[in-house]
Structure 1
Amino acid sequence: MAYVAGTPPKPPDKAKKSFFDMHRHGFVRVATAVPRVALCDPRENAARIETLYKEACAQQSAVCCFPELCVSGYALDDLLQQDALQDECLEALASLKRAAKDCLLLVGAPLRFDGRLFNCAIALQAGRCLGIIPKSYLPNFREFYEARQFAPARLRVSSEVSFLGETVPFTPDLIFRCAEQSSLCIGCEVCQDVWVPAPPSCAQCWRGATVVCNLSASNITIGKAAYRSQLVQSMAAKNYCCYAYCSAGQGESTNDVAWDGQSIIYECGDFLAQSPRFAEDATITYADVDLDRIEQDRSRDATWSQNAADYADVVRKVRVVEFSRQSAQTPLQYRVVAKRPYVPAAKDELDQRCYECYNIQVSGLVQRMRSSGLKKLVIGVSGGLDSTHALLVCVQALDKLKLPRSNCLAYTMPGFATGEATKSYATELMRRLGVTAHELDIRPSCEVMLRDLGHPYAKGEPVYDVTFENVQAGERTNHLFRLANHQNAFVVGTGDLSELALGWCTYGVGDHMSHYGVNASVPKSLIQCVIQWVIDSDFVGPEANDVLSKILSVEISPELIPGAEIQSTEATLGPYDLHDFQLYQTTRRGFAPAKSAFLAMHAFREATPSSNVLEDRAFGLVEILKHQRTFLRRFFLTSQFKRTCVPNAPKVGDGGSLSPRGDWRAPSDSSWAPWERAWARCVAWARDTCDDADVRRGLGALAGA
């Protein structure tokens, strides 16, 4: 959760606040409801609105937004000026005010103040009116003629009015903040207000609004729905907010226009939910909104607050009205949490991601070759994922520069535990790609080094410690750099983002050090998908594709320790899926362990069919927390010194890079105690509020380990 600046977070009250409640992790539920309008019948509309609102309340929604002028109907023209309609609108609003519960209700109605009729959004909550937001910008072109009936907000006489027995704020400069959760702050604007270059919601967001609702009666024409979506997405992205747009549907007059009842909800530019369009019956759409993510994104983008400073006078005019809301325990239900934040689930999006990733890497290497003046590359090829992907990038870069592929000097360097399968894959792939292939056995030089060190292995003892492993890694790197000197070339690095995050790379050797690292900001999961995309795109021909497919099926292994069993990286580190997930939540979102574990619990609760090459796996909460501690310890305690001196590499994706010159800058000698303690609190909290006895026992064992 987020807290008021200067107020330390309180430990969770485990008797009342469950780890499994989405509200405890900074989520709120937002609802948009589109009733079937009874045109010019406020009493009937109030009944229909109340029915939908009660459903939203039962779903623990924090706010429920209805369309513009939904109490009366929008397409009424001059009937809006009739006293009989005005009187019934007030009666309907009084009824809705009495029905209003903890969930903030936003409804639209025509209201007359000081001899002027305004198109208004009315905020009702807990039996009172929190405020009235008049529409600022009245469309009066093409099919719209609102200026005939309404006055714009700037023509109001006062910023407070008497309404249903209360004195309430009456201004578009108004937001509603929850006293129990300060990050829940709701802004509101009416239809056309969002279509202008500088909408009122910009100032509302700068003043603190994290959720903006738009009450709309936008008629539908061909192509307009897509434009609305783009507009809402843009507003949510540039204001770092949730933007919930709710438009009028069936029941409105079709004298000259038609209606589709489109509701759309975006969060910081990401799609959350949309209603069915042209529905005959009423619809209600829910989305679970991440307020922590909104506040994190805002605090990271300094230009957002700098822009607010340029409009300080406008922002200061925004009035904050507090309301109180008590939420019941609610599961995260109306939100898809991606298992692999770096890998889109939809195939078309994944193809685009792979295309961009691959070409960013290739163009980066092309430019580095041009700027260095060198025309040859040196790379070590193991037959594993990372070196395979880097080799593909090298080949494509040489093709773009119209240089022969033989200018890629590729070396397979078998050591004490190199498998025959991976060695044969490396050799065959190099041959089929047409690079200059060499095999360089590092065992003799490793034996010299081990003998010089006085290592037990040199005396015939099977001691396979970290020195034994790193001597092999170091010899490979030593050869590659000297080969680059000898051949007037530079070394292309193969280590990936996942390994760099976990420190699963030997300091100063090939998966850490190079002249240029093409994979350094690409996570392990995405590398697998890009290789599959290269196969599907048939860039390298069917013979090479056959080898690539075999490489994709190989167990991830460093192949440094001899033995009958393959040395499994994931058996030592834990699943890369969980580590990549945690990496994204840590570096891109800045979330605490409890929030990240809660999200992972929802993302990995079941295995589902996947449209990509990756195996889809499920993990329980105990396993998630076990591996989360591994990640946090390795990332914050033991690995930063390796990241402080990584070579140049192109930033590829939204997840960023770990370069000290880029997205991640941190001291090499800081403490990881805050994350260790936060993880321990998270385990205890989940254990104490879990209903499953087996999970409780597992969490208890974790806590005591």
Structure 2
Amino acid sequence: MTETQYGAVPGAFFDIHTHGFVRVAVATPTVRNADPAFNATAIQAQAREASEAGADLVVYPELCLSGYANDDLHLQAALVARTAQEIASLAEATRELGPLLLVGAIVERSGSLYNTAVAIHRGTILGVVPKTYLPNYREYYEKRWFASGAGTEGQTIALAGTSVPFGPDLLFAAENMPSFTVHVEICEDYWSPSPPSIDGALAGGTILCNLSASNITIGKSRERHLLSASQSMRCLAAYIYSAAGHGESTTDLAWDGQGGIYELGDLMAESARFSHENALVYSDIDTGRIRQERLRMPTFHDAAVQRGKPESRFRRIAFEHRPGVAVTDLKRPVRRFPFVPNDAEKLDQDCYEAFNIQVEGLITRYKATPGEMMVIGISGGLDSTHALIVAAKACDRMGVSREKILAFTMPGFATGDSTKSNAWALMRAIGVTAEEIDIRPAARQLFADMGHPFSDGEPVYDITFENVQAGLRTDYLFRLANQRGGFVIGTGDLSELALGWCTYGVGDQMSHYAVNTGVPKTLIQYLIRWCVSSGQFDPETDTVLNAILDTEISPELVPPDAAGGLQSTEEKIGPYELNDFFLFHTLRYGLPPSKVAFLAYHAWRSTSEGRWPIGFPEAKKNAYDLETIADWLEKFLFRFFQTSQFKRSALPNGPKVSAGGSLSPRGDWRAPSDGRADLWLSELREALGRKN
């Protein structure tokens, strides 16, 4: 239990299973060929270790109980009999352990020998899955020893003194965890053009497992990564792969013990290759994320229909999920900045794509729009800066002079000297047509016409005071576009639209084309840094860009306080790095608020863990406790679900940039403008032990 402003947070909140995570382990035991007793000892030891680590599922390599590289020894009666004996002993020895075990073993049935995966859970053999595709080419001769499991659907086998399900049509389903459903295939099965795991996934399997004895050759590791990642992505599933390692015969082949855990195309964990030790690698699979992806993709349902509804052809073998220990240490990478590229190998490519999506979107709109001018308001802040450099790059690519960009800085009652200076320095460095319009005289006239107290000298800085300034800037821009033959480029970003931190009908919500509408604040900051580091502009421009990046985010609509403190956006609505985290998991995956809080807690509770984007400034590394996370999440939920949809329903055109989603009413997000946040707030408060 943890004490916060919510009171005592229920312990269940910190348990990974509460949030739909399943801890999986890939085991690579050292084996001896044709020595089931030795191998069973190693398998038991790893099962015990995995159970103590809270694993729910352990996947072993193909034929690990007898060894794979036995050649004709597979057909020796003594080996077959001893393997069956060790299967029974293994089941009994693991009766008190928590995980579902998938063990590779030879079994004899009806005069045929099969290469199988034996599913064992708490002393019970749940079922036996035979290999369907038997390789019989190059170095493989499996048809010499084994029969294919094709055609054995619906069968049983006598094993360990009892009759158990046998066939490739088995799904192992935790009856008290609906999304913990396991399908099994063996090695060559997923090298085939039509892996059995496709039907397994379409029948409801969320965790696809492959017991493999794939020998290693140059480049084969990359092929396994490719197949495992693509199968997990295509099937909207997790894919767990375990290959044979040290101890297999090297008479003609070699083995590296590669193990990998994948989820929706992402590599979550992998084992050390060529190890001489018994190896275990873990990751927590988000079955809730998998379920949500399937719900939002009608293609998944359509594929099941096209393949004759595989669910009707599978047998669901139920087991009761009982973790061996309480599990609160989340074992999976959780990115603090899910919208921001964080892979060193892909960093430049991802930033290049993000920036150029915006540039190409603006080029197409420019060519399709009457008039030659792009009109943009420059405040010296992040959003207008990014919109301006996108426009500049668009001009360069079209061979159009940057002077076709009409950039206006429009100081108001709270405009700071530094931001105004940055605005002018940026416009000069970029080489646009730059002008300044002081909006204060027009604002004073408007205040007087309205009878606002500010017109009489009273320091009343209410919402009207702020929006008069914001609205006048937009009025000027639209009329200037009319006058000078151009269109207005919007500067508002995805984060502001999510929070409703934009004034209806003004520049951060309304424009002729909104280049930033698909880019969250954290990504805008990072793309500006990338423009500097990758040499997109000249050194003079880079100097200004760095100065803007170091400036506190503020709308500058209210004058500084007596101590000189600026109006701070993040003090009002919360840190953008947290809000973007909330937005990604809410928009992209539809996660419940309690799970978003749980993930944020694990991502942000420490500054010591290395999950910052590459090149992220040391001085900007923050940490947040659960109380802080929950407080800002409540505010995010209220703003996102209740107060700001009407602004998003009237958005101008703008390109989707991130796979995390957009808020266009014509695209990723369509919601009623008069919705309420009660459901989401209640779910969060209940999970944290707080009364509504």
In the alignment, the residues of structure 2 paired with residue 618 and residue 17 of structure 1 have an alpha-carbon distance, to the nearest angstrom, of 22
In the alignment, the residues of structure 2 paired with residue 538 and residue 313 of structure 1 have an alpha-carbon distance, to the nearest angstrom, of 53
Identity of aligned residues (%): 49
Residue of 332, 342, 346 corresponding to 2:343: 346
User: Deviations 1:531-575 (Å, cap 9, x if unpaired)?
Assistant: 011111112100111111100000000001112211110111111
1:69 corresponds in structure 2 to: 63
Residue of 412, 429, 433 corresponding to 2:430: 433
Residues 1:219 and 2:224 are matched in the alignment: no
Aligned positions of 1:538-553 closer than 5 A: 538-553=535-550
User: Deviations 1:446-469 (Å, cap 9, x if unpaired)?
Assistant: 111111111000011110100000
In the alignment, the residues of structure 2 paired with residue 540 and residue 434 of structure 1 have an alpha-carbon distance, to the nearest angstrom, of 11
In the alignment, the residues of structure 2 paired with residue 542 and residue 151 of structure 1 have an alpha-carbon distance, to the nearest angstrom, of 69
Residues 1:325 and 2:325 are matched in the alignment: no
Displacement, 1:157? 9.0
User: Deviations 1:451-504 (Å, cap 9, x if unpaired)?
Assistant: 111100001111010000000000000000000011110000000000000000
Residue of 639, 642, 655 corresponding to 1:637: 642
Q: 1:640 to 1:314 in 2, by over 3 A?
A: closer
Residue of 181, 195, 198 corresponding to 2:194: 198
Query: What SS is found at the alignment partner of 1:490?
Result: strand
Aligned positions of 1:482-497 closer than 5 A: 482-497=479-494
The range that moved more, 562-571 or 79-88, is: 562-571
2:605 corresponds in structure 1 to: 605
2:375 corresponds in structure 1 to: 378
2:397 corresponds in structure 1 to: 400
Displacement, 1:676? 2.1
Q: Which residue type is aligned with residue 231 of structure 1?
A: L
Residues 1:310 and 2:313 are matched in the alignment: no
Query: What SS is found at the alignment partner of 1:225?
Result: helix
Displacement, 1:352? 2.5
User: Deviations 1:83-109 (Å, cap 9, x if unpaired)?
Assistant: 011111011111111123331111111
Displacement, 1:600? 0.5
Residue of 78, 87, 92 corresponding to 1:84: 78
In the alignment, the residues of structure 1 paired with residue 19 and residue 84 of structure 2 have an alpha-carbon distance, to the nearest angstrom, of 39
CA contact 2:28–2:60 (8 Å) conserved in 1: yes
In the alignment, the residues of structure 2 paired with residue 140 and residue 155 of structure 1 have an alpha-carbon distance, to the nearest angstrom, of 19
1:231 corresponds in structure 2 to: 227
In the alignment, the residues of structure 2 paired with residue 683 and residue 406 of structure 1 have an alpha-carbon distance, to the nearest angstrom, of 55
In the alignment, the residues of structure 2 paired with residue 401 and residue 479 of structure 1 have an alpha-carbon distance, to the nearest angstrom, of 27
Q: 1:420 to 1:258 in 2, by over 3 A?
A: same
1:575 corresponds in structure 2 to: 575
1:260 corresponds in structure 2 to: 256
Displacement, 1:167? 1.2
1:509 corresponds in structure 2 to: 506
Residues 1:36 and 2:30 are matched in the alignment: yes
CA contact 1:532–1:613 (8 Å) conserved in 2: no
Q: Which residue type is aligned with residue 59 of structure 2?
A: C
2:532 corresponds in structure 1 to: 535
CA contact 1:203–1:318 (8 Å) conserved in 2: no
Query: What SS is found at the alignment partner of 1:187?
Result: strand
In the alignment, the residues of structure 2 paired with residue 484 and residue 60 of structure 1 have an alpha-carbon distance, to the nearest angstrom, of 63
Q: Which residue type is aligned with residue 562 of structure 1?
A: P
Residues 1:54 and 2:48 are matched in the alignment: yes
CA contact 1:347–1:612 (8 Å) conserved in 2: no
CA contact 1:502–1:634 (8 Å) conserved in 2: yes
Q: Which residue type is aligned with residue 644 of structure 1?
A: S
In the alignment, the residues of structure 2 paired with residue 539 and residue 330 of structure 1 have an alpha-carbon distance, to the nearest angstrom, of 47
CA contact 1:594–1:679 (8 Å) conserved in 2: yes
Q: Which residue type is aligned with residue 241 of structure 2?
A: Y
Residues 1:299 and 2:295 are matched in the alignment: yes
In the alignment, the residues of structure 1 paired with residue 459 and residue 309 of structure 2 have an alpha-carbon distance, to the nearest angstrom, of 74
2:625 corresponds in structure 1 to: 620
1:5 corresponds in structure 2 to: none
In the alignment, the residues of structure 2 paired with residue 513 and residue 576 of structure 1 have an alpha-carbon distance, to the nearest angstrom, of 21
CA RMSD of aligned residues (A): 1.4
Query: What SS is found at the alignment partner of 2:346?
Result: helix
Query: What SS is found at the alignment partner of 2:501?
Result: coil
Query: What SS is found at the alignment partner of 2:554?
Result: coil
Residue of 400, 403, 409 corresponding to 2:406: 409
Aligned positions of 1:246-257 closer than 5 A: 246-257=242-253
Q: Which residue type is aligned with residue 189 of structure 2?
A: D
1:689 corresponds in structure 2 to: none
Q: Which residue type is aligned with residue 379 of structure 1?
A: I
In the alignment, the residues of structure 1 paired with residue 309 and residue 300 of structure 2 have an alpha-carbon distance, to the nearest angstrom, of 16
In the alignment, the residues of structure 2 paired with residue 480 and residue 58 of structure 1 have an alpha-carbon distance, to the nearest angstrom, of 65
Q: 1:402 to 1:303 in 2, by over 3 A?
A: same
1:694 corresponds in structure 2 to: none
1:112 corresponds in structure 2 to: 108
Q: 1:460 to 1:331 in 2, by over 3 A?
A: same
In the alignment, the residues of structure 2 paired with residue 182 and residue 678 of structure 1 have an alpha-carbon distance, to the nearest angstrom, of 20
Query: What SS is found at the alignment partner of 1:150?
Result: coil
In the alignment, the residues of structure 2 paired with residue 549 and residue 93 of structure 1 have an alpha-carbon distance, to the nearest angstrom, of 65
CA contact 1:135–1:189 (8 Å) conserved in 2: yes
2:565 corresponds in structure 1 to: 565
1:584 corresponds in structure 2 to: 584
CA contact 2:203–2:309 (8 Å) conserved in 1: no
1:695 corresponds in structure 2 to: none
Given the two structures, how large is their TM-score scaled by the length of structure 2? 0.96
Query: What SS is found at the alignment partner of 1:256?
Result: coil
Q: Which residue type is aligned with residue 380 of structure 2?
A: G
Residues 1:422 and 2:416 are matched in the alignment: no
List, as ranges, runs of 4+ consecutive aligned residues in structure 1 with deviation greater than 4 Å: 14-17, 155-158
Displacement, 1:329? 2.0
Residue of 274, 281, 287 corresponding to 1:285: 281
Residue of 636, 659, 672 corresponding to 1:654: 659
Q: 1:72 to 1:554 in 2, by over 3 A?
A: same
Displacement, 1:325? 1.9
Query: What SS is found at the alignment partner of 1:491?
Result: strand
In the alignment, the residues of structure 2 paired with residue 548 and residue 188 of structure 1 have an alpha-carbon distance, to the nearest angstrom, of 53
Residue of 511, 516, 520 corresponding to 1:519: 516
1:691 corresponds in structure 2 to: none
Q: Which residue type is aligned with residue 90 of structure 2?
A: L
Given the two structures, how large is their TM-score scaled by the length of structure 1? 0.94
The range that moved more, 361-370 or 334-343, is: 334-343
Displacement, 1:314? 3.8
In the alignment, the residues of structure 2 paired with residue 666 and residue 418 of structure 1 have an alpha-carbon distance, to the nearest angstrom, of 36
The range that moved more, 381-390 or 14-23, is: 14-23
Displacement, 1:522? 0.4
Query: What SS is found at the alignment partner of 1:160?
Result: strand
Q: Which residue type is aligned with residue 69 of structure 2?
A: A
CA contact 1:176–1:323 (8 Å) conserved in 2: yes
Query: What SS is found at the alignment partner of 2:269?
Result: strand
Q: Which residue type is aligned with residue 649 of structure 2?
A: T
Query: What SS is found at the alignment partner of 1:462?
Result: coil
1:3 corresponds in structure 2 to: none
In the alignment, the residues of structure 1 paired with residue 144 and residue 650 of structure 2 have an alpha-carbon distance, to the nearest angstrom, of 67
Q: Which residue type is aligned with residue 573 of structure 2?
A: L
Displacement, 1:17? 5.5
Query: What SS is found at the alignment partner of 1:64?
Result: strand
CA contact 1:529–1:612 (8 Å) conserved in 2: no
User: Deviations 1:151-181 (Å, cap 9, x if unpaired)?
Assistant: 1112549611211111111111110111111
CA contact 1:43–1:91 (8 Å) conserved in 2: no
In the alignment, the residues of structure 1 paired with residue 628 and residue 636 of structure 2 have an alpha-carbon distance, to the nearest angstrom, of 12
In the alignment, the residues of structure 2 paired with residue 505 and residue 400 of structure 1 have an alpha-carbon distance, to the nearest angstrom, of 31
1:8 corresponds in structure 2 to: none
User: Deviations 1:412-465 (Å, cap 9, x if unpaired)?
Assistant: 000000001110111011111111011111111111111111100001111010
Corresponding residue pairs, total: 674
In the alignment, the residues of structure 1 paired with residue 556 and residue 176 of structure 2 have an alpha-carbon distance, to the nearest angstrom, of 54
